[in-house]
Amino acid sequence: MKKTKLFLTITALTLAVLLLLSGCGKESNSSSGGAKAGQSANYASLSLDTSDMFTERDLETGYDESTATKITLSDTEPNAEITQAGTYIITGSATDGSITVTASDDDKVQLVLNGVTLTSKTSAALYVKSADKVFLTTAKGTNNILSNGGAFDASGDDNIDGAIFSKSDIVFNGEGTLTVKCSAAHGIVGKDDVKFTSGEYVIECEGHGVDANDSIRITNATLKITSGKDGLHSDNDEDASKGYVYIESGTLNINSDDDAVHAVTTLQIAGGTLNIKAAEGLEATVVIIDGGTISIEASDDGINAAKKFSGITPTVIINGGSIKIVMGQGDTDGIDSNGNIEINGGTVDITGNSSFDYDGTGIINGGTVTVNGKEITELPNQMAGGAPGGMRGNDKQNGMRGGAPGGSSDAITSATPDKNNPFPGKPDSDGSGFSEGQLPEAPGFKGGENGERPQKPDSDSGTEIAKKVKPPRSDSNGESEKTKPGKST
């Protein structure tokens, strides 16, 4: 009897240890936001290296006024040219002038805007032609304006098309406010990396709000963007480690006629607050949301993973955060993927005719997903067209629209609106609630290759803003941030 009790005791202890170890293993596998082992491996292969997105100097807002060079702009002296490393404090105003940086490729330049109002009638108000990196710092408590007067004259091979145009890495920081205006093209254009690490920015333009070649990175900054094309646009389509957008924190209010945030490779959101009103909310080949509070009102797709870069499977991964999507009527999808959708955590609340549309697999591993007021535990899949009853089952070949061969008029999933009240209604003008009725109408454009839509025409000529031809990237100085997606100096 004693031997039996001893055996049972040892067995119980062994099972307890095994269960404890098993539990530890599961916690380790879900460290990327609650994903199971298979999904966390998928996340690891697709997510950005965020360990070194911002350097200490990127985050600094201070400067030594005693050693800085002071520049005052005026209509009689409207231009300033910076040719070497250092700190430059700029004040004053000019109705037609520019600040130009032509430093060496290893020079770091800090420009402190201390109450500047500057317009270039036919070019960029700030043109960074050469430097290793430029820090554009707004002085505490100041309001600054950089704008283009409505036209861009040809300027050799540079193809300047933004009120701020930089061929080098540029960092926006400070404790003041910067307004950027451009009625002819884009607000801010960067041929390398563009970072916002503090300060407040108001961008109003006909083209993209911020157009970067390599990356857009945002932390602890406030951006209000009104744009005729994309709000944030990163478009390097030749290097898988570039062409991305990373949002760590901050507040973004974006009202755009096309995509609010567009990346060719990866769009990753770790935190922050995003309030979006656009044709399409978030678009990239891979969209990863780890946290943050995101509100999207869209007339096309709320979140779209489209095949924009060869060799990468379009994927939406949601690990955390609070996401609310309100869709317009018509052929619209709350979350659309040309590949896979994976929800591991957070809350997703979608109001609209079609909640999910994916060509690969769709899975809920965790979190809370609500469609038109009803919580769901399995992802529905909407057939193109978005008509009620047109849900697709797991068998895509046979999952025809309701009432068609292979389908049933009764096979309506939780994503289908109530027949007596198809749409809970559109937001009130102040965004505080909903009135009973229909959702916002979709605009008259939809389609194109890989989920793209025809671009918005210019209001004056009916033709598109000419697409930029990206010049080859200038030789780097060999620093790791030029070659690694998350590495900075």
Number of domains in the chain: 2
So what's the pLDDT on residue 148? 98
* Residue 101 covered by a domain: yes
- 186 and 282 share a domain? no
One domain, residues 142 and 251? no
Amino acid letter at 453? R
Q: Looking at the structure, do residues 190 and 261 belong to the same domain, yes or no?
A: no
Residue 177 shares a structural domain with residue 300: no
What is the distance of C-alpha 107 from the center of its chain? 30
Cβ 199 vs Cβ 172: under 8 Å: yes
Give residue 418's region: left, alpha or beta (phi > 0; psi -120 to 50).
beta
CA angle 208, 211, 216 (to 5 degrees): 125
Which residue has 């920081």 as its token pair? Answer: 173
Q: How far apart are CA 291 and CA 271, in angstroms?
A: 5
Nearest to 231, CA basis, from 265, 256, 204, 267? 256
Q: Determine how many CB atoms are found less than 10 A away from the CB of residue 55.
A: 16
Are residue 202 and residue 263 in the same domain, yes or no? no
Which candidate, 202, 208, 311, 194, places its Cα nearest to that of 243?
A: 194
Q: Which of 206, 225, 258 is the last residue of a domain?
A: 206
Nearest Cα residue to 356 out of 317, 382, 395, 387: 382
Domain limits at 405? 242-450
Contact by Cβ (8 Å): 265, 25 = no
- Phi first, then psi, for residue 24 (nearest 5°) are -65, -40
Q: Are the C-beta atoms of 216 and 238 separated by less than 8 Å? A: no
Residue 361 falls within a domain, yes or no? yes
Q: Which residue, chain included where needed, has tokens 């209010």?
A: 253
Question: In tens digits, what is the pLDDT along the chain, a chain of 489 residues?
Answer: 444 443 434 444 444 434 444 434 333 333 333 344 344 568 989 999 999 999 999 999 999 999 999 999 999 999 999 999 999 999 999 999 999 999 999 999 999 999 999 999 999 999 999 999 999 999 999 999 999 999 999 876 789 999 999 999 999 999 999 999 999 999 999 999 999 999 999 999 999 999 999 999 999 999 999 999 999 999 998 899 999 999 999 999 999 999 999 999 999 999 999 999 999 999 999 999 999 999 999 999 999 999 999 889 999 999 999 999 999 888 799 999 999 999 999 999 999 999 999 999 999 999 999 999 999 999 999 854 443 333 333 333 333 323 333 333 223 233 333 333 333 343 444 433 333 334 444 343 344 444 445 444 443 433 333 333 334 433 333 343 433 344 444
Residue 98 lies in a domain: yes
Residue among 288, 238, 229, 290 at smallest CA distance from 264: 238
Q: Does residue 251 lie in a domain region?
A: yes
Looking only at the bridges linking them, the beta strands covering 340-343 and 193-196 are unpaired
In a domain, residue 443? The reply is yes
Contact between 99 and 83 under an 8 Å Cβ cutoff? The reply is: no
Q: According to the model, what pLDDT value does residue 457 have?
A: 44
Question: Do 251 and 150 share a structural domain?
Answer: no
Cα-Cα-Cα-Cα dihedral of 346, 348, 349, 353, to 10°? -170
Task: Say how many C-beta atoms besides its own lie within 10 A of residue 394's C-beta.
Answer: 11
Are residues 438 and 350 both part of a single domain? yes
**Pair 181, 253 in one domain:** no
User: How do strand 434-435 and strand 426-427 relate by DSSP bridges?
Assistant: antiparallel
Q: What is the pLDDT of residue 154?
A: 81
36 within some domain: no
- Residue 382 pLDDT: 81
In this structure, the answer to whether residues 422 and 283 fall within a common structural domain is yes
Whether residue 190 sits in one domain with residue 251: no
Q: Does a structural domain hold residue 120?
A: yes
In this prediction, residue 383 carries a pLDDT of 53
Q: Based on the fold, state whether residues 84 and 193 are members of the same structural domain.
A: yes
Beta partners for residue 126, in sequence order: 99, 164
CA distance 214 to 228: 22
- Domain membership flag for residue 458: no
pTM of this structure: 0.75
- Could you give the angle at the alpha carbon of 215 between the alpha carbons of 187 and 169, nearest 5°? 75
Do 325 and 430 have their domain in common?
yes
Q: Which of 467, 443, 440 is nearest to 453 (CA)?
A: 443
